[in-house]
Structure 1
Amino acid sequence: MTERQIRIFGDPVLKTMSEPIGAIDAGVRGLVDDLLDSVRPPGRAGVAASQIGVNLRAFSYNVDGRIGYLINPVLVELSGEPEAMDEGCLSVPGLWFPTMRYPYARARGVDLEGHEVQVEGTGVLAQALQHETDHLNGMLYLDRLDKERRREAMKQIRESDWF
């Protein structure tokens, strides 16, 4: 389909809980195609539907050459000791902050045929699964920062040329 424009911090769609996807129809197939096209450019580990302006529960990922998607994803397992991982977001361009994430994550969802699928991983993939699920719940990684780092992030956002 097409690479879609990424919504930026301040857009209300990013702070809205996404709705579950019901029937898998042509619209959902088009959304998944757009999510896959939107995650392919270099430097993109994941794109949630809300980031392209669609409040439905789906995201795509692109980590270590592994590209895929999940419809109605649910994190079913997080393990290990949470650790601070440098994290950024396409919706908050140019900012990177250490964010507490579990080193292992497993998510369950469905594919376009309605079959249950699971994606699991460590490191960046685990981080992406958690990050994109947060988006679908109306949460940005900035919401996970401690008070001092969040204050610094908000200062940088206000001073940015895109805000």
Structure 2
Amino acid sequence: MAVRPIVITGDPVLHRTAAHVTDFDEALRRLVADMHETNEAANGVGLAAPQIGVGLRVFVWKMENNDGVPVVGHVVNPIVTTSRVPQERPDPHDDSEGCLSVPGESFPLKRAARAHVVGVDQDRATVEFDATGWFARCMQHEYDHLNGTLYLDRLDERYGKKARKAVKRNGWGRPGQTWLPGVDPDPFGHDAPAQVE
């Protein structure tokens, strides 16, 4: 297992549809193991293969949930369907979402409260479950990555404008930019020392 660099917004692999996995082999097992290792090192709740530069339809998660789904898991060639997305404006506190490929930033986005996930694992065994709440948000976010969509692409006009400014301010939006979890500082501050008052 190895921690891999996480690709930052602007790299083409993040903005195109990932290919279906056809080879269920040792390379796929290594990919899934590396994704879990990278997600852990990044303090992430989910990671899609395009985020480490691999254009395949695979994502992993590590997230507590109330849905009876294992805290740590992965799915290959998933299909995620959702309930209707609420039409009200996103709440800056309750709906703020972040992304390891948009390091250190977060913006409010409304997501569906339920998501149905179906696919297979690295051994071709069926994976199927319903996710609710923040776990459903995670499943939708990772599935979007497989379809070349970042959560920034779904923001409303107000927050979309703020996101575009943040991308420009950080010098992102071009190919080849990455950060390495466990080596580079955690952009979301998980590795920052506790404040003593």
Same fold (TM over 0.5): yes
Larger-gyration structure (1/2): 2
The match for 2:12 is 12
Contact 1:79/1:104 (8 A) holds in 2:
yes
User: What residue identity is the alignment partner of 1:4?
Assistant: R
Aligned Cα root-mean-square deviation (Å): 1.8
TM-score normalised by length of structure 2: 0.77
Question: How far 1:57 sits from its partner (Å)?
Answer: 0.2
Residues 10-40 of structure 1: CA deviation (Å, up to 9, x unaligned): 1111001100001201111111111111122
Q: Is the 8 A contact 2:62 2:73 kept in 1?
A: yes
Corresponding position of 1:160: 170
CA contact (8 A) 1:63 1:124 kept: no
The number of residue pairs the alignment matches comes to: 162
- Answer yes or no: is 1:69 the counterpart of 2:74: yes
Shift of 1:45: 1.0
Structure with higher helix content: 1
**1-structure distance, mates of 2:7, 2:97:** 18
Structure 1: gaps of 5 or more residues? none
Q: How far off its partner does 1:42 sit?
A: 6.0
1:4 is paired with a residue of what secondary structure?
Answer: coil
- For structure 2, the 5+ residue unaligned runs are 65-69, 174-197
Q: In percent, how many aligned pairs have the same letter?
A: 41
SS at match of 1:92: coil
CA, structure 1 residues 119+6, in 2 after alignment: closer, same or farther (shift >3 Å)? farther
Provide TM-score, normalisation by structure 1: 0.92
State the 1:162 CA deviation: 6.2
Q: Does 1:90 align with 2:100?
A: yes
Distance in structure 2 (CA, Å) of the matches to 1:161 and 1:11? 13
Aligned partner letter, 1:93: P
Q: Quick check: which one's strand share is greater?
A: 1
The CA distance in 2 between the partners of 1:20 and 1:161, in whole Å, is: 32
